[in-house]
Chain A
Amino acid sequence: QVQLQQWGAGLLKPSETLTLTCVVYGGSFSGYYWSWIRQPPGRGLEWIGEVNHSGTTKYDPSLKSRVTISLDMSKSQFSLNMTSVTAADTAVYYCARGAPGGRRWFDPWGQGTLVTVSS
């Protein structure tokens, strides 16, 4: 059974860079799409972007200029970098596995990391 475990800094100052990492246990990278999704406090889910096993990425257009998602298959992990964070980036960030093929439902998910941006 595939499990995702994520970690990263939980408190950042404005203009700093957010870095989160997600380790994949018990499964293969091939064929799947590895995503980051966030949830601002009290609000709904926002897709950030994804990377596939070939390293091909797609991002939400509103975040594309600040976001990089990368893959390290030798360590069975993928990462999110988001530059120049502001208070609007405060959220719980989740990593998730996207289904193969053209239709991308997400299962499983990581446990979530609360990232707070505050001066």
Chain B
Amino acid sequence: RKEVEQDPGPFNVPEGATVAFNCTYSNSASQSFFWYRQDCRKEPKLLMSVYSSGNEDGRFTAQLNRASQYISLLIRDSKLSDSATYLCVVLHTNAGKSTFGDGTTLTVKP
């Protein structure tokens, strides 16, 4: 079993749709959580951090459930420009390194 697992996708949604991605992690010592976005043939870039209380950034909402070791990302009113691969990332602060999920691919269609 991989340490970080994501919905494999792909997700194909129309513009304006709401879409949610899930991620589970197995290491209970994990301390920080992030969502990264990776466009085709580009490098991963931070989308947002994920806090225990949940956090929102415009159309994007991230949730963390430590008890269930589960992270989610919700995208509302999706845009064509949201088409990308979304990577769930878990940081082990003590170990100093991050583990990336394999990513979920989203395609938003007109």
B partners with A: no
